[in-house]
Amino acid sequence: MKLNQLSVFLENKPGQLKKACDLLAKEQINIQTLSMADTRQFGILRLLMKEWERAKAVLEAEGFVVKATEVLALEVSDRPGGLADILGPIEAAGLNVEYMYAFAILRGVGADAKAALIFRFSDPDAALASLKAAGVNVLSGVDLFN
């Protein structure tokens, strides 16, 4: 299942990240996870949350440029080699990863411990099909947000 991630354009100047976060806080919107891509010039704040549509409206109303992007959340085993196991099928299917980051969840203990990684593929639909076929557990919003 594909998830909608919000990307927000931020100017590289003090206070910009806080401005966006304050807005969401005021609207009682909880951010599940985020990642920040930054350059000397600007930053792109990537957010995952349950209420992404409401968050998008709130941010846009305040003048932020916001884009919804489809990403996949892949389950990985929390052990050495867990990520490598996932990357195998991705490479085998010839999928292009634009970026990835970790989702802050941990389930189970010991050998059963699981984490989630967020992937942005150039072609999310093709990625979804080949990863499912390869037996990778693609997580849904229900798995992540509840």
Task: Pick the piece of the chain touching another protein (CB under 8 A) from 6-14, 24-32, 76-84, 134-142.
Answer: 6-14
Binding residue for another protein, selected from 48, 58, 116, 120, defined by CB under 8 A:
120
36 binding another protein? (CB under 8 A): no
From the CB of 21, what's the least distance to another protein, in Å? 15
**How far, in Å, CA of 113 to CA of 88, rounded?**
20
Could you give the string, one character per residue 60-79, with x where binding to another protein holds by CB under 8 A and - elsewhere?
---xxxxx-x----------
Based on the shown chain and the rule CB under 8 A, indicate whether residue 9 belongs to the binding site for another protein. Answer: yes
The whole-angstrom distance between residue 138's C-alpha and the CA centroid of its chain comes to 13
Q: Which residues are CB-neighbours of 44 under 8 A, at least 6 positions away?
A: 7, 8, 9, 10, 36, 37, 38
Residue 39 binds another protein, judged by CB under 8 A: yes
What's the rounded Cα separation, in Å, for the pair 139 and 128?
11
Tell whether residue 56 is a contact of another protein (CB under 8 A): no
Nearest to 67 by CA among 38, 40, 47: 47
What CA–CA distance (Å, rounded) separates 130 from 128?
Answer: 6
Given 22, 85, 91, 98, the residue binding another protein (CB under 8 A): 98
Measured CA to CA, the distance from residue 9 to residue 56 in angstroms comes to: 12
123 touches another protein by CB under 8 A: no
Residues at the site binding another protein, with contacts judged by CB under 8 A: 5, 7, 9-11, 16, 37, 39, 41-42, 44, 46, 63-67, 69, 98-99, 120
